[in-house]
A = this chain, B = another copy of it.
Amino acid sequence: MAHINTNYKKLPGSYLFSTIGKKVREYQEKNPEAKIIRLGIGDVTQPIAPEIITALHKAVDEMGNPETFKGYAPDLGYEFLRSVIAKKDFIERGCDISPDEIFVSDGAKCDCGNIQEIFSLDNRVAVCDPVYPVYVDSNVMAGRTGEYDPAKECFNDVIYMPCLKENGFTPELPSEVPDLIYLCFPNNPTGAVIHKTELQKWVDYANEHGSIILYDAAYEAYISEDDVPHSIYECNGAKGCAIEFRSFSKTAGFTGLRLGFTVIPKELKAGGEALWPLWARRHGTKYNGAPYIVQKAGEAVYSENGRKQVREQIAYYMQNAGIILDGLAAAGYEVSGGKNAPYIWLKTPDDMTGWQFFDYLLEKAGVVGTPGSGFGPHGEHYFRLTAFGNRENTIEAIERIKRL
């Protein structure tokens, strides 16, 4: 008789953003007149930039022509995309990453979720707390986290690295050595960044202990300060200890187009075994590539016009971030993030829990945010707002919150 993977039963609830979506739909059904403003899920609102739309149309036409039609993509992704990524995102920043070390995919979420598969089930995982829930959830499903302790709201075999106001929302090196270390900077949800000298300490630590850093740089395009690394490969020795994830979702508004990539240096090893061939095997066996038309859209992001247009979009969102930061600070909230990231992290007022504040904000102001506890136990009493709304809604949301 078939049986399920019982690890799934350890997950304490549905996926965070599915839960939020459901709560908001239910509220809207009960209050059809309510004009809800969504600053919860990190979804963009600006349309795809004109240069990219042009590239998409062109690629669609190619798909309709027998001379230019494209079937299955190459395993790692099209060379035209991997080579421009290598050049613009890495070589030009002094990182020695070659096109063959880049695996194009349909997004960083999938890659972040699937990467754990190539590692031993015995490996011990460390995560920032709070952090993007996919890292922990995907390891729970695989059976790498032990049991859930409802009292602590923790999994017993996960090393949680608290990111608190006291440490500037960046973790300290763990005393117990993890095998796999998930880092996400600029951070989702806190919007915190890590400076290069600090990140170098993590790289040195990982190299010293044989740990692998799984570095999620999905928000690197939002970095505005100089000494904040865009890639972990800006650190010395990172090619020997780190995998990096990148996304087009927040860089170019591709949440609905789906494109990302993962960098695995050829020299990277775990316990003496190269990781590149394993990910290549997974990519070839359980995945079939991002659509050609979307890879062409990705290429257009790096063109002169494309780059200019997506930078304008990012600037627009970051102006939203400023409006939220300043507005909430003026209203007496304790806020951080929002300078090198599209996320604003705020302390809930009156010691409310994250979900209490979620309900309060939805019911009293019609604004949707994300409870910090959804990102980990040390996110409790915090709340995330995103800068991805349009200007009018962002201003309106902050006005409503100020009036509370």
Determine if A46 and B69 form an interchain contact, defined as CB atoms under 8 angstroms apart: yes
User: B residues within 8 A CB of A3?
Assistant: 119-120, 122-123, 179, 270-271, 273
Most buried by B among A47, A60, A110: A60
Within 8 A of B (CB), among A8-64: 8, 11, 14-15, 17-18, 21, 41, 43-48, 50, 53, 56-57, 60-61, 63-64
Q: Which 4 A-B pairs have the closest CB atoms?
A: A1-B210, A113-B286, A53-B64, A15-B284
CB-based contact A2/B66 at 8 Å: no
Contacts of A315 in B (CB 8 A): none
Of A70-78, A190-198, A330-338, A371-379, the one contacting chain B is A70-78
Q: Which residues of B contact A106 (CB under 8 A)?
A: 106, 258, 288
A209 at the interface (CB under 8 A from B): yes
Name A251-266 residues within 8 Å CB distance of B: 253, 255-258
Q: Please indicate the chain B residues that have their CB under 8 angstroms from the CB of A291 in the complex.
A: 256-258, 291, 294
Contacts of A219-237 to chain B: CB distance below 8 A? none
- The reply on A114 being an interface residue by CB < 8 A is yes
A398 within 8 A of partner (CB): no
Once the chains bind, are B72 and A47 in contact (CB under 8 Å)?
A: no
Please name 10 pairs of A and B residues whose Cβ atoms are closer than 8 Å in the assembled complex, sorted by A.
Answer: A1-B211, A2-B271, A5-B278, A11-B281, A45-B69, A48-B64, A48-B69, A69-B253, A258-B291, A291-B294
Using CB atoms, name the residue of chain B closest to A122.
Answer: B3
- Judge whether B285 and A15 touch: CB under 8 Å: yes
Whole-angstrom CA separation of A195 from B400 in the bound complex: 64
List of B residues within 8 angstroms of A2 by Cβ: 119-120, 123, 179-180, 210-212, 270-271
Query: Which stretch from A90-98, A134-142, A321-329 is at the chain B interface?
Result: A134-142
A120 touches B63 (CB 8 A): no
Closest to A179 in B: B2
CA distance A107 to B210 in the complex (A): 36
Shortest distance in angstroms between A390's beta carbon and chain B's nearest beta carbon? 7
Whether A285 and B134, one on each chain, are in contact in the complex, defined by CB atoms closer than 8 angstroms, is yes
Q: Does A109 contact B (CB under 8 A)?
A: yes
Determine the distance from Cα of A280 to Cα of B289 in the docked complex, in whole angstroms: 22
**Per a CB cutoff under 8 Å, which of B69, B253, B293 touches A56?**
B293
A80 located at the interface, meaning its Cβ lies under 8 Å from any Cβ of chain B in the complex: no
When the two chains form the complex, which single residue of B53, B63, B255, B287 contacts A110, counting CB atoms closer than 8 Å?
B287
CA distance A293 to B291 in the complex (A): 11
Contact of A6 with B by CB under 8 A? yes
**Alpha-carbon separation in the docked complex, A67 to B133 (Å):** 31
Q: How many whole Å from A349's CB to the nearest CB in chain B?
A: 29
Report whether A275 and B138 are in contact in the complex, using a CB–CB cutoff of 8 Å.
no
Residue from B18, B113, B118, B141 in contact with A4 in the complex, judged by beta carbons closer than 8 Å: B118
Interface presence of A290 (CB below 8 A): yes
Q: Are A41 and B275 in contact (CB under 8 A)?
A: no
CB of A120 within 8 A of CB of B69, answer no
By a CB distance below 8 angstroms, the chain B residues around A287 are 109-110, 113
In the complex, besides A8-B281, A15-B281, A134-B285, 12 extra interface pairs with C-beta distance below 8 angstroms are A1-B270, A2-B271, A3-B120, A3-B123, A4-B118, A4-B119, A4-B271, A8-B118, A48-B64, A69-B256, A110-B287, A255-B288
